[in-house]
A = this chain, B = another copy of it.
Amino acid sequence: MTEAEIAPRPPTAGEHEAYCAVERQLAILLRRANAFSAGMGRKVHPELDPGAYGLLVRIEQSSPMRSSDLAAYLRVGRATISRQLKGLEELGLISRSPDPEDGRAHLLALTPEGSRRLHDARSAREGQLRTLLAAWPEEDVRLLGRMLERFNMLTEGLNL
Measured between beta carbons, the chain B residues less than 8 angstroms from A75 are 32, 35-36, 39
Distance, CA A30 to CA B155, complexed state (A)? 13
With contacts A126-B23, A148-B25 taken as known, whether A142 is within 8 angstroms of B37 at the C-beta atoms is no
Copies of this chain, how many? 2
Q: Is A149 an interface residue (CB 8 A)?
A: yes
Q: Is A91 an interface residue (CB 8 A)?
A: no
State which of B12, B128, B138 has its C-beta within 8 Å of the C-beta of A18.
B138
**Interface range, A side:** 35 or more
B19 in contact with A133 (CB, 8 Å)? yes
In A112-160, which residues have CB < 8 Å from any B CB? Answer: 122, 125-126, 128-130, 132-133, 136, 138, 140-152, 154-155, 158, 160
Could you list 24 examples of A-B contacts with CB < 8 Å? A20-B122, A22-B144, A25-B145, A27-B125, A28-B54, A28-B152, A29-B33, A29-B148, A29-B152, A30-B36, A30-B37, A31-B54, A31-B74, A32-B75, A35-B76, A36-B155, A39-B75, A39-B160, A40-B160, A133-B154, A136-B150, A140-B147, A143-B143, A144-B151
